[in-house]
Structure 1
Amino acid sequence: MQPTFAFLLAHPAHFLALGFGAGLSPRAPGTLGTLVGFPLFWLLSGSPLYWAWIVLFLAVGVWACGVAGRALGVHDHGGLVWDEVAAFLLVLPAAPPTLAGYALAFALFRLFDIWKPFPIAWIDARVPGGFGVMLDDVLAAGYSIGVLVGLARWM
């Protein structure tokens, strides 16, 4: 089932899981979902509660992606992009605060999310429900952060 605008608005979990509508895109919904992370980062990055917000986004994502995935009949439907939104918010604070730094963070996160190096692909295939949907992107964020930290001395 391909989600529609009516599906997006049918339940709050659908609205979140589809990244406020980014997941409705017929092309590259995960990339668009990741882009949704930028305005949220700029909105929240000055907050002393930034990490609390991220934990909340991740926890709500488990619920929202689980509900929407069951409704779509697909464990990790491509339109479910809240996992990209929330996990990318883990990566952005590790990026140099420049346009090039943020672009590199974006490229690395998308690379690891699409490539799914071990154990990401294994988890993606075996961990069901909203938790599995969120966990593989959190691991992709971890790989991205590792590369950013490793490159930090040269940036």
Structure 2
Amino acid sequence: MSEKEVFLTPEGLANLEEELEHLRSVKRREVAERIKEAISFGDLSENSEYEEAKNEQAFIEGRIITLEKMLRNARLIKQDEVDQGVVGVGATVKIKDLEFGDVIDYMIVGSVESDPANNKISNESPVGQALLGKTKGAVVDISVPAGVIQYEILDVN
């Protein structure tokens, strides 16, 4: 079974690599120390500190596996590869809500880097999908639970 390609900006790649290194070098050691300390309390069957530490260890190991898989399947988005004037992953898009007149700048990123609070939307989100491949001046209809929103693309960088 082929694994899903993960689109990353250089910043996103650096963040994932940093998180992976922190988990491997710091968190693993901290949890191992907590497990060792909890074992010293004796009777593991009723030892909540031991259970918590083992659960955290399982979470950390799962996250490490997830990050390694993402990095193995990473496709780096370089700014010089982004097609100027066409919305794609890595592009910044200025759109206008045609109903309310709001103007918003979004950067289209892979789902791993998605952060709507910082105007980074996933290429897999409804808005991201609708914008992909479009150019300046295009009007895009996006189906949302409340109905259909129309955006005009004002600029693509």
Larger helix proportion, structure 1 or 2?
A: 1
TM-score by structure 1 length? 0.23
- Highest RCO, 1 vs 2 (Cα 8 Å, sep ≥ 6): 1
Q: Which has the higher Rg, Structure 1 or Structure 2?
A: 2
Output the TM-score relative to the length of structure 2: 0.23
Q: Which has the larger strand fraction? A: 2
